[in-house]
Amino acid sequence: MPEMKGGCLCGQLRYMANAEPVFIGVCHCKNCQKESGTAFNVVVAVPQSAVSIQGSPRTYTSKGDSGMDYVRRLCPNCGSTILSEPAALPGIAALRAGTLDDTSWLKPNMEIFCESAQPWVQLGGGMQRFPKMPPMPG
Ligand SMILES: [Zn+2]
Ligand SMILES: [Zn+2]
């Protein structure tokens, strides 16, 4: 895995992550639909310790499906969320895949929270589908 680089829409926030993804997931949860304004989020889960952020993100904390805190880092200028830190997945940062500069290598391996997926969403690629968040791989 080459070093991942990305940033928000306006470029005020930039980040780098130097790690093999723990998983790459398509998340159909209602919060991801609200956050992204579309039908699902694609997240690249990496260790928080591998991520460095340039710029000053705003933080928005809500409750995740687990009832635990779900922290989002977003750009105070353009509003893009660049990553989240779900307390339910300690030590994990979930990069928003659409904010990566290079997505050519991206291949999600599972769909999560399928129970709230919009019914017309049919993704190919033979991904494993889970009604909620499965136990962490590895
Ligand atoms: Zn921005
Ligand atoms: Zn989600």
Residue 98 is classified by DSSP as: G
Specify the pTM: 0.94
Tens digit of pLDDT per residue, the chain (138 long)?
669 999 999 999 999 999 999 999 999 999 999 999 999 999 999 999 999 999 999 999 999 878 899 999 999 999 999 999 999 999 999 999 999 999 999 999 999 999 999 999 999 889 999 999 988 755
Beta strands, E only, the chain: 4-7, 14-17, 23-27, 41-47, 51-54, 58-63, 69-74, 81-86, 92-96, 110-112, 128-129
C-alpha 20 – ligand 1 centre gap (Å): 25
> Domain of 106?
4-129
The values of phi and psi at residue 89, to 5°, are -120, 80
The two structure tokens encoding residue 51: 């991520």
The CA distance from 111 to 1, in Å, is 21
The two structure tokens encoding residue 110: 């599972």
106 within some domain: yes
Residue 81 is classified by DSSP as: E
C-alpha 83 – ligand 1 centre gap (Å): 13
Dihedral class, residue 126 (left if φ above 0, else alpha if ψ from -120 to 50, else beta): left
77 within some domain: yes
| CATH number for position 118 | 2.170.150.70
C-alpha 86 – ligand 2 centre gap (Å): 10
C-alpha 44 – ligand 1 centre gap (Å): 19
16 within some domain: yes
97 within some domain: yes
Percent of residues in the chain assigned helix, strand, coil, to nearest 5: 10, 40, 50
Split into its structural domains, the chain has a count of 1
137 within some domain: no
pLDDT number for residue 138: 53
Beta bridge partners of 7: 14
The residues placing their C-beta within 5 Å of ligand 1, an ion, are: 8, 10, 12, 75, 77-78
57 within some domain: yes
pLDDT number for residue 135: 82
136 within some domain: no
pLDDT number for residue 136: 73
C-alpha 91 – ligand 1 centre gap (Å): 24
C-alpha 38 – ligand 1 centre gap (Å): 18
135 within some domain: no
pLDDT number for residue 57: 98
pLDDT number for residue 81: 98
C-alpha 31 – ligand 2 centre gap (Å): 6
C-alpha 7 – ligand 1 centre gap (Å): 8
